[in-house]
Amino acid sequence: MIKKIGVCVGATKPNKVNFVSAEPLRIGQFVILEYEENGEKYKLLGMIQQLIRENLYISDGKSFEEAEKLKRFVHNTNIKGEIQILGKIVENQNEIFLEIQRTPPLPGSDIYEADPEILKKLFGAKNERYIKIGKLLSEKNDIPVYIDISQVALRHLAILAITGAGKSNTVGVLLKNIVNLGGTVIVFDFHGEYSKTRFTRDGKEVINQIKPIINPAKLKIDEFANLVGISSKAHVQRRYFRIAFKKLIEQLQDEKGKDWYNYIDTDDFIERFKLILESLDESEEIKGLKKDSLYEVINKLEDTQSELGHIIKIGENHLIEKIKHGYINVIDFSEIDENVADAVASNILKVALEERKKAVRQEESKLPYPVIVVVEEAHILASDKRDTQSKYYMTRIAREGRKFGIGLTIVTQRPKGLDKEILSQMNNMIILKLVEPEDQKHVQSASEALSAELMEYLPALNPGEAIIIGNMTKLPLLIKIDKAEEKIQGNDIDIISKWKESLKNESGRRKINLEDL
C-alpha cells in the first residue's frame, strides 16, 4: 500500500508547491500529488527539493535554559519543504509518460510516496538503446535507472568530478555497456590506466591498445609543425618549415615517385629535412632570412628526432586504420607531453570526422560504423586558457558529430579549466562530487538543465553518487552509479605497502652488512 506522507500548503505554482509532513523524508525523494478538480483526477510526479524540520515549542529566540526544559517535546515536530513538480503522470497500457503541468495544483492536495512500479516504468529500459547506469539515490526501493546510449553518442556527454569521486568507475560502466552492444570507442588515455584494464565481451578481451606512432607523410604541414613544437604564432619559423618540407617532398617524389615513403627510413627523412633547412641559409630565394628563426626550426627538428624518434615512423599506417570495430581502442599518451598529444589527438579527430562523413555519404570509409571518442583529462586538450588544434576539432565534432555518427565524451576533474563552448555542447552530463565553487559555476553556466537546487547537492555527494541530466534521461536525477565489472586501474600508489617494503629491505640490508663485519 502506498503511504500518504504530507499535504500541500500555501500558494502553489504549476512547477512548485510547499508541503508539510510528519514523516522523516529525504532530499531527492520522488512523491506523487493527487487531487480532483472539475471532475478530473490529477496525479502529478514531484521531487523533494528542500526540507526543514520545525518544532513550535523549541522555536528561534529561546534561551539555552528554555530550550533545555522543552527538550521533552523534541518529537513534536513538523517537516516542511518544497517539491518540484515534474509533470502529470499519464499511463498508457504498460507505459508511463509525463505531460507538462500547466495549472497550479490545489492547496491541500494529498502527497504520497511514489509508487515503485511507476518509477520503474518511467526510468527503466524502453528498448535496446537503453543501458543501466545505476539506481535512484533517495528511494527506499531499488529503482534501476537506464539511459539512452544513442543520445550519448549523438548529443555528447561530460563526466565531471573531483579526484576520487568515481569518474573512472562511471566510464567503466559506460564502456562495458557500449562494447556489449557492439559499439566502437576510441579513448585518449593520458595516464596509461586503460592498458591495465581488461574489458571483455562474451569472455573475449575487447581492448585494442594502440601506440601513438605517427607517419609524417600522413600529416599536413601545419600538423607536422605542431608535432615538432613550432607554435602557430611563430610565423617566421612556420614559413621556413613549410618551404623546406615542400622542397623535401618534391625531391623525394622526383627520385622515388609518389610512393616515395616506401623507399626511405625515418632517420634519412629527418636528416634530409635538416639539410634542406640548412641550405636555406645560403639561398637567395628568401630575402631578409632570419638565421635565429631558421636555426630554431633545425634545433626543434633535432629535438624531435632524439626525443620522439620512437613515435615517428615513415611508412606507418594512419592510427585510424588501426581502429578495431566493436572494441575499446586505447591511444596511450602516457609517454608523450601535452603538445605532442595535441598534435596526435587533433589528427585523429580530424581524420575520424572525415571518415565518418564518407561513411554517411556511402563512400569507402575506414570508420564505416558510428564511434564514440572518450577524451580523458579533457582540460588538457580543450583548455579554456589556450588554443589547441584538438580543441578546434573537438568543437567541430560537438557541433557536427550527431549528423555523422561520431560522439564525444569528455572526462575531467577540472571543469573550470574546460573550454566553455565545448562544455555547453555536451547535452548530457554525469556530475559527481564537485566542491570548488568555481567548478560549480563553470558547469552551471554551461548547462541550463542544472538548477540552483541541484547545484546544492554537489559538494555533499559520496563517491559514486551523481546528478545526471540531458537527453539521455527523461529528468534530472540523483543516482548511485553501478559498480563497473571491469575497474579502470588508477595510478594511485599503495603508500603503506611501499613503506613497509622499504623497512623490510632496509632491515635485510643491515643484516647483510653486520654479517660482513
Model confidence pLDDT, tens digit, residues 68-123: 666 666 666 788 999 999 999 998 877 888 999 999 999 999 999 999 999 999 99
- Dihedral sign computed on CA atoms, order 222, 226, 228, 231: positive
Which position has the grid cell 592510427? 319
pLDDT at 302: 92
pLDDT for 8-56, tens place per residue? 999 999 999 999 998 889 888 999 999 999 889 999 999 998 898 887 7
Strands 428-431 and 204-205: unpaired
Each residue of 208-244: b (16+ CB within 10 Å) or e?
A: bebebebbbbbbebbbbbbbbbbeeebeebbebbebb
pLDDT at 57: 64
pLDDT at 511: 63
Is the per-residue pLDDT at 479 higher than 80? yes
> Could you tell me which residues are beta bridge partners of residue 54?
78
pLDDT for 52-66, tens place per residue? 888 776 677 666 676
Supply angle C-alpha 124, 130, 135, rounded to 5: 45
Estimate to the nearest angstrom the gap between the alpha carbon of 338 and the chain centroid: 18
Where residue 316 falls (left for φ over 0; alpha for ψ -120 to 50; beta otherwise) is beta
Q: Is the separation of the CB atoms in 478 and 433 below 8 Å?
A: no
pLDDT for 321-366, tens place per residue? 999 999 999 999 988 888 889 989 999 999 999 999 999 999 999 9
pLDDT for 279-315, tens place per residue? 988 877 788 889 899 999 999 999 988 888 888 999 8
Q: Place 514 in a pLDDT band, splitting at 50, 70 and 90.
A: low
> Could you tell me which residues are beta bridge partners of residue 79?
21, 53
Estimate to the nearest angstrom the gap between the alpha carbon of 480 and the chain centroid: 17
Is the per-residue pLDDT at 496 higher than 90? no
Closest residue by Cα to residue 322 from 348, 341, 340, 345: 348
> Could you tell me which residues are beta bridge partners of residue 431?
160, 467
Residues shown for the chain: 517
> Could you tell me which residues are beta bridge partners of residue 184?
371
Radius of gyration of the chain (CA): 30
pLDDT at 43: 94
Supply angle C-alpha 55, 58, 64, rounded to 5: 155
> Could you tell me which residues are beta bridge partners of residue 171?
none
**Amino acid occupying residue 166:** G
Give the chain's domains with CATH numbers. Answer: 4-123 (no CATH), 144-213+322-481 (3.40.50.300), 217-307 (no CATH)
pLDDT at 509: 65
pLDDT for 169-188, tens place per residue? 999 999 999 999 999 999 99
pLDDT at 131: 94
pLDDT at 70: 63
Element holding 242 (H helix, E strand)? helix 235-256
- Give DSSP secondary structure letters for 10-71: S---SSEEEEEESS---TT-EEEEEEEETTEEEEEEEEEEEEEEE-SSS-TT--HHHHHHGG
Prediction pTM value: 0.86
- Report the alpha-carbon distance of residue 409 to residue 346 in Å, rounded: 15
- Report the alpha-carbon distance of residue 71 to residue 65 in Å, rounded: 10
> Could you tell me which residues are beta bridge partners of residue 210?
331
Q: Place 515 in a pLDDT band, splitting at 50, 70 and 90.
A: low
